[in-house]
Amino acid sequence: MFNFSWVAIIETVVLTALIGDFKWPFCGLQSFLIVVLGIFSYAGQTLLTVALQCENAGPVATMRAASDIVLAFMWQTFLFCDIPDVFSISGAILVSFSVTFVGLQKWVSTLSRESSTFKRLKWIIL
């Protein structure tokens, strides 16, 4: 988390100096949105660190990428009012199916080998 913050600060200072067009926020809403962005960025980085401490990197990276895709899809639809085409919808369905399958696979692998649920769903972890 420490490195993430410093990289962002250094990048912002360098780009602001190169562009030379720095302006303070005009109103309280812009300042509020900047603070909220910082809080959500910090929370996201903290939760990613905790997830990597509790789980292997593979499932965490898969879930993060999938959530990024789903959130970008929702952002496109609801914030920009850009109606998705057939390819976007089919891609979202494929991503959702893949994430669900990874989650089911992880859950089934933690079940007892003698349980009836494991016996019915053991094909998932083959």
In this structure, is residue 13 part of a structural domain? no
45 and 61 belong to one structural domain = no
Verify that 29 and 65 share a domain, yes or no: no
Same domain, 42 and 29: yes
Task: Report CA-CA distances (Å) from 21 to 32, 38, 101, 106, 113.
Answer: 21, 21, 48, 49, 63
**Nearest-angstrom CA–CA distance, 21 and 49:** 34
pLDDT confidence tier of residue 10, bands split at 50, 70 and 90: very high
pLDDT reading at 14 higher than 90: yes
Give this prediction's pTM: 0.60
Q: How far is CA 33 from CA 6, 36, 45, 96, 106, in A?
A: 20, 5, 18, 30, 37
119, 96: one domain: yes
Residue 18 has what pLDDT? Answer: 92
Q: Which domain holds residue 74?
A: 56-125
Residue 13 confidence (pLDDT) above 70:
yes
Which of 5-9, 33-37, 63-67 is most confident? 33-37
> How many structural domains is the chain composed of?
2
Same domain, 76 and 94: yes
pLDDT band at 41 (very low <50, low <70, confident <90, very high): confident
Is 60 exceeded by the pLDDT of residue 1? no
pLDDT tops 90 at residue 88: no
Instruction: Write the CA distances from 111 to 76, 80, 104, 121, integer angstroms.
Output: 38, 43, 11, 10
Last residue of a domain, one of 54, 71, 92: 54
pLDDT score of 125: 79
